[in-house]
Structure 1
Amino acid sequence: MKFLISSSLIVLSLLAAPTNAKSIDNNAEANKICTDTDCSRELRRLMRLARDGSGDAAAFVAMAYATGDGLEQNTKEAVRYLRIGVRQRNAMAVFLMSDWLRNGFMVEQDLTEANRLLDQAVQLNHGPAQYSKALQLLQTEDPAYLPEAVKLLELSAAQRLSTSMLLLAQLKQHGVGIEQDLPGAAELYKRLVLSGQHSAKPYLQEVTALLANDTQHELLVKDLREIENIEVIRVSGQQMQVNNMLEGLVNRLNASGQFDSRSVGSRIRGVSCEQTGSNCSSTRPERGASSLNEVLTGGQ
């Protein structure tokens, strides 16, 4: 019974709003990145790459059509392009389709198919899918699912998914489903704070106070208290970087040599900001990206 209460409280305290699909309509305008920037040239190139077999490009175009960001909102085209990505077994596309099916966004709700695709995205090692699956398992409140949930959180935390890092740290701190590990929890909180996740600071302070009761952690506590006083300032010129980031994505996909009229599929899984020449980051994809803004900047 103690486990059920503890795990429920932890999950409820960290579980934010439902996965992105339901909130797309409400936040679409605020999240758009192509309002002051013409993304049409890059998006046309992504359309070509999608038709030639790039699952990454297909997912991007689907999100643009779904949110009306850079393209006129079009449900039919959004679903068509996303299905191209799913057929290519692209992890981001598979997870996004799972999310749409679960929430009845753009498509008719189908929980059975949503769960099947979620499991497929997990197998494709997609961090946001691993986190979502772990939450599902924890919410069953069945101790038998704990080891699998923890393993999924560890896998996604290794990909620097902030939500997974935070939930895993909470489980380590309270010894729920895993042996209590205060130094391990502190390390995760520390990494979150240093990456600009201010919501992790109270947790870091809490676990630091617990470690302070043990003299063998004196040096660790000193280090953690220094971290508590660090203020991380993020400077972002997102609107000015939009074209550079999209151009970088297009160039990366073209440079792979996998996507032409003879292409049979993509081996690229997920979208990173490498080689874009911008300051975008992939350290904060949260639950998953359902907009161009979230994928390109890594934020929510």
Structure 2
Amino acid sequence: MRLLSISALILVSSISISLPATAQNAGNNEQICTETDCTKELRKLMRLARAGSGDAAAIVAMSYATGDGLEQNTSQALRYLRQGVRQRNPMSVYLMSDWLRNGFVIEQDIAEADRLLEQAISLNYAPAQYAKAVTLLQTEDPTQIEQAVVLLEQASEQKLATSMLLLGQLKQHGIGTEKDLVAAAELFKRLVLTGQTQAKPYLAEVSAELAASNEHAELVKDLQQVENIEVIRVTGQQIQMNNMLAGLVKRLNSSGLYDSRSVGSRIRGVSCEQSGSNCASIKPDSSSSSINQVLSGGQ
């Protein structure tokens, strides 16, 4: 294993990271409610937020902050996001950290942003783990580099694409961890199969290096087949995102955690992913400045 070098910093900078959520650029992000009406779903999410859903509160806050689907209202954005933070909802905590770091909607406060980032990490929130790992990788401290790799592994286990891509590169080159071409290949393969085309060049590099060693013939054959796979997405982005909003509403409703009609049988303010029920949580990428990015992970 070798310490992080200039080449590692180049690797870090090559990862596609969403623009910071600043007041200047938030309006330039692609909005999802321009061609389709999100009002119905967002109103349902507002009701779910009032019933205690931190995930719903985060989405509504971002919609108010950017004017995407709701009339822009920064005071309402802060009100909803603070509600989610009080509930220790991972998405809300992470978004508040991002807003404070970039001075978006709220006055910049780096110390509080760092505190909330650590809280989001303690809540096992993958985008927070990734963001912290990127920061740690830009140091020369071996201990911090090892910690970064651990965080990337944790986020990759949750299938966060940016973490999988960066971890794969580190394993490919033996930076901050032992060189492991097979593990790197597996990460790149999973990304390509899910339509993450930015992983294709790295998969090709690892495949070529494995082929040169003549030790993994079957694996190389499999990787080459994956390289030639073309993933076709036929759903338009606007329709897809609108469906994701509707899907979030459906999941939160079906969890039964935010049904105000129930008496004593449900816990107010416990999010879907905390409940242990069969549900999915949305994981925005390192800096989500629109509900498009919140829903899609910025990918």
CA separation in 2, counterparts of 1:132 and 1:19?
13
Match of 2:46 in 1: 47
Q: How many angstroms apart in 2 are the aligned matches of 1:215 and 1:136?
A: 37
Residues 216 and 169 of structure 1, relative CA distance in 2, 3 Å threshold? same
Give 1:298 shift: 4.4
Amino acid at match of 1:235: V
Pairing of 1:117-136 with structure 2 (within 5 A): 117-136=116-135
What is the match of residue 11 of structure 2? 10
The alignment yields a C-alpha RMSD, in angstroms, of 2.6
Return the offset for 1:164.
Answer: 0.4
Contact 2:17 2:286 in 1 (8 A): no
Answering whether residue 59 of structure 2 is matched by residue 60 of structure 1, we say yes
Give the CA deviation at 1:243.
4.9
Q: Determine the C-alpha separation between the residues in 1 that align with 2:235 and 2:248.
A: 19
* Distance in 2 of aligned mates of 1:89 and 1:46: 18
Using the alignment, how far apart are the partners of 1:239 and 1:6 within structure 2?
38
Structure 1 residues 293 and 175, CA, compared in 2 at 3 Å: closer, same or farther?
same
Change (3 A) 1:53 1:38: same
Tell me the CA shift for residue 107 of structure 1: 0.7
Inter-partner Cα distance in structure 2 for 1:241 and 1:200 = 23
Residues 28 and 174 of structure 1: is their aligned pair in 2 closer, same or farther, counting only changes over 3 Å? same
Q: Report the CA distance between 1:260 and its aligned residue.
A: 4.7
Mapped partners of 2:241, 2:182: distance in 1: 39
Is residue 284–residue 295 contact of structure 2 (8 Å, CA) maintained in 1?
no
Q: Is the Cα contact below 8 Å between 1:65 and 1:75 reproduced in 2? A: yes
Gap change, CA 1:211 and 1:245, over 3 Å in 2: closer
Query: Structure 1 stretch 244-253 or stretch 68-77: which is displaced more?
Result: 244-253
1:216-240 Cα distance to aligned partner (Å, 9 max, x none) = 1111111111222222222223434
Percent of residue pairs bearing the same amino acid type: 61
SS at match of 1:128: helix
> What secondary structure does 1:3 align onto?
coil
Could you give the per-residue CA deviations for residues 254-279 of structure 1, whole angstroms, max 9, x where no partner exists? 23232255864223249xxx989xxx
Equivalent position of 2:73 in the other structure: 74
SS at match of 2:36: coil
Counterpart residue number, 1:245: 244
Alpha-carbon displacement from aligned partner over 1:173-224 (angstroms, at most 9, x marks no partner):
1111111101111111111112222221111111111111212111111111
Bigger mean CA offset, 234-243 vs 111-120 = 234-243
Check conservation: 1:43, 1:61, Cα contact below 8 A. yes
Q: 1:137-164, CA deviations, whole angstroms, 9 ceiling, x for partnerless residues?
A: 1112211112211111011111111110
Q: Distance in 2 between matches of 1:180 and 1:65?
A: 45
Please name the residue that 1:232 is paired with: 231
Question: Is the 8 Å Cα contact of residues 92 and 269 (structure 1) preserved in structure 2?
Answer: no
Deviations 1:73-127 (A, max 9, x none): 1111111110011011111110000000001111111110001100111111111
By how many angstroms is 1:242 displaced?
5.0
Corresponding residue number in structure 1 for 2:205: 206
| Bigger shift: residues 150-159 or 48-57 | 48-57
Indicate the residue corresponding to 2:271 in structure 1.
267
Aligned residue for 1:221, secondary structure, equals: helix
Contact 1:39–1:243, Cα closer than 8 Å, also in 2: yes
TM-score (norm 2): 0.87
SS at match of 1:165: helix
1:130 shift after superposition: 0.6
For the pair 1:172 / 2:177, whether they are aligned, the reply is: no
| Pair 1:154 & 2:153 matched | yes
Give me the whole-angstrom Cα distance separating, in 1, the residues matched to 2:150 and 2:279.
Answer: 31
Q: Distance in 1 between matches of 2:206 and 2:60?
A: 43
